[in-house]
Structures are given as C-alpha cells and as structure tokens.
Amino acid sequence: MKILILGIDGYLGWPLALKMGSKGHEVIGIDNLSTRKFSEEVGSDSAFPLPSPSDRVKEAKKILGINIDFYVKDANDMEFLKETIRKHKPDVIVHFAEQRSAPYSMKDYNHAQYTLDNNLGTTLKLIYAVNEIDPSIHILKMGTMGEYGTPSLDIPESPFVEANINNKKDKIIFPRWGGSIYHWSKIFDTDLLLYFNQIFGLTVTDIMQGPVYGTRTTEITEEGLRTRFDFDETWGTVVNRFCVEAVLGLPLTPYGKGGQTRGFISLEDSMEALRTLIENPPKTGEYRLVHQFAEIYSVNKIAEVVKNAAESLGMSTEIKHVDNPRIEAEEHYYNPEIKILPSLGFKPKKNLKDEVKIILEDLIPYKSRLERYKDSIMPKTKWKK
C-alpha cells in the first residue's frame, strides 16, 4: 500500500513510518516540524536528541533498508497538500498533523486560536483535497478518547446512539465534552468527518485513542531511529512524565486526587493497532469510529507502578499530589466499549508494568540531558487564570 502520513516527524508519526515501511508499504510523509519548535517555546526538548529529517531518512534506509519520502512542509497548505496527493496517489492518508497538547491549547487566547485554526483547517483541507482528487482514499484520522470527557454512562464504540425524548426516538451523536480546547478541536474534527462522510461519501476511520506511553517499537532498535519523547508539563503525557520525574529524583505528580482514569496504550501496541486499521480499511464510503487503548488505569495507579519500577532499579521515589492545574473530574466512572480492534484480530502485547521499566532504563543514560530541562516539568499552565 502507499501511505501518506501527515505529521511524520511526531511521537507517533515516525514510528508508524518505520513500522509500515518495514512491512513493505511505501511511505511518504509531510511535517512542518512544529512540535520541535513548540517544545523549545516551553523551554524543553525531546529526552532523546532528534536527528534532522534528512538524517532520519538516511538512518531508516541504512538500518532498516526502507525508503521514506519526507517533505518538510505544512499539511495546512492546500496547494502543497493537493500536489502531494496527486503526485503520490496514496491508498490511505494518516492525519496526525495537529497540535496535540491540551495544556498548550489552554495557555491563552493565541494558543487556543492557533489550535483551532491549525487542527480544523488541516482537517477541512484534507477532506476537500481527497474529495477533489480521489474520494476513495481512506482517511485515517487520530482523534482522542478525551472527546467523550468522563460521562457517568458506558461509552459506546459508535458515533450514534438511539435517544428517546418525550416518547420520540431518534439517532443522535453520543455526547462529547472536551477537557481542553485541544480536545474540543478533535470533537469538531469528528463532526466535520461525520458530516462530509454523509455529503461526499468519504471513507474514514476516526480513532479515539487514549494516552500513549513508551520509548520502543519493534523497529526502534538503534539510537538513530528513536522517536521524540516529551516530558515537560505542556507536551509530556502522564506515564512518560512520571518516568522522567523518577529518573530525576523528583516526586511523581498526580494532579489533585489522582482518580482521573483513562485508557492507556503502549507505543508498540498503538503502532500495531494503526497497522491493523490501515491494512483492514472500512468499506468504501463508510465512517468507522474505533476505540484504541489497551489497559484502563487511574493516575494514582500509574504513579504506584512507576514508583515500584523505579525502586526495583534502585531509585528512591515519592508520590506527591499537587494542585490540579486543569478543570476535570478527579474521581469518576469510566467504561468505554472496545470491540472493533479485537474483531480485526488485534491483541495488545505490552503491559504498563513491563514497559515502564524499559522506559526508565532507556532514560537513565540521558539523565544529564534531562536535568537541563528540569524547570519545564512542574505544572504551570492553569485552565482558569
């Protein structure tokens, strides 16, 4: 298959390029390198130094023998996007080219506005470009489990539910309630995809994924192939952040009560799930919503797992609850359905406990590099000023 990845330079984009290339698929990618720039903006950097795009491509060729076409361009540039689709004629376009941080989107008006402009702008351009050039191209879009918020209802793996209001029945969209402007941008993306699936008959997989953790995939076998790894308060996600806190001897920081519960997935399992969805597309003209996570944990449980793993490696670690900078439920019901990936034969192979140990071992040699960015770790971005 020919796969075009929008956002190929990111935490998920790069390992997906390596995975799909290693499986014999043709990989083309676009990235404007914005996450590199934004991480610098908040005084941080990837835990592992990142090669330049051209060096990444060379390493992939040298170590894995794969060819990747990497364009340092903006997927939010309609003319370039159309030119690339026309030139390469992909079977599937993976859309990761979005600002993916909740705290970044909540810093101030400018960051909120950028998040909405960039994320919705790119999705809308992709929809119109695909419709104009070849509406049968499969759009595989990264959404988030955070589109639902934390309702006191089971979360069905389907965009629609049957509602009964005043004895009248109709199909309605299952309620969503984002926990940040970033999460709202993904809700609006879903609305656009649902609408244009009905109008243009586009073929769409809309993935609701939980937070991803980890440093490794089957293909990341050498330093030159590593993907970025963020840990600062803006770009780092909870498991990866706790691992860096442990390595630096800082307390682990559950926000508030720490009962916030999410569906987590390792980097390797996320890549395998994506491969499964790419290789098993929906029927032409179908909109398919997929839940993508492996294990459900609370933030408190994650802190405990990281503490135990760090102690088994000889580090002394404490857990210190800090004031929650976000506005979110700190204790809640959480029961999302998951049936589509298992029905396609996908089974997660990794678990949090084992992976956390590997993350810690991978980070230890970079301790002095991490020290340089220590000031970016404690939460500063408050939802309500």
Q: Which of 34, 39, 205, 260 binds ligand USQ (CB under 6 A)?
A: 260
The Cα 274–Cα 132 span in angstroms is 26
Shortest distance (Å) from residue 278 CB to ligand USQ:
19
What whole-number distance in Å separates Cα of residue 322 and Cα of residue 319? Answer: 10
Q: In 3D, which of 284, 368, 336, 376 has the Cα closest to residue 176?
A: 336
Does 10 bind ligand USQ (CB under 6 A)? Our answer is: no
Q: Which residues in 171-206 are b (16+ Cβ under 10 Å) and which e?
A: eeebebebbbbbbbbbbbbbeebbebbeeeebbbbb
Q: Show Cβ contacts of residue 44 under 8 Å, excluding neighbours closer than 6 positions.
A: 230, 231, 232, 234, 235, 373, 376
186 is catalytic: yes
Size of the site for ligand USQ (CB under 6 A): 20
Q: State the residue for tokens 């003209």.
A: 285
Task: Considering the candidates 11, 104, 148, 182, report the single residue annotated as catalytic.
Answer: 182
181 forms part of the interface with ligand USQ (CB under 6 A): no
Alpha-carbon distance values, 184 to 100, 146, 153, 233, 296 (Å): 11, 9, 20, 20, 22
**Catalytic option among 186, 307, 350, 357:** 186
101 binds ligand USQ (CB under 6 A): yes
Per rule CB under 6 A, is residue 105 in the interface with ligand USQ?
Answer: no
| Of the candidate residues 255, 259, 332, 358, the single one contacting ligand USQ (CB under 6 A) | 255
217 in catalytic set: no
Does residue 32 bind ligand USQ (CB under 6 A)? no
Active site (annotated) includes residue 182: yes
For ligand USQ, which residue of 211, 214, 336, 348 counts as binding (CB under 6 A)?
211
Q: 2 φ, ψ to 5°?
A: -105, 125
- CB 213 to ligand USQ: min, Å: 9
Cα torsion 138, 139, 144, 147 to 10°: value is -110
- The single residue among 39, 44, 99, 144 that binds ligand USQ, judged by CB under 6 A, is 144
* Closest distance to ligand USQ from the beta carbon of 194 (Å): 18
Nearer to ligand USQ, 130 or 207 (CB): 207
Binding site residues, ligand USQ, CB under 6 A = 100-102, 144-146, 210-211, 237-238, 241, 253-255, 258, 260, 262, 299, 326, 328
Residues identified as active-site = 144, 182, 186
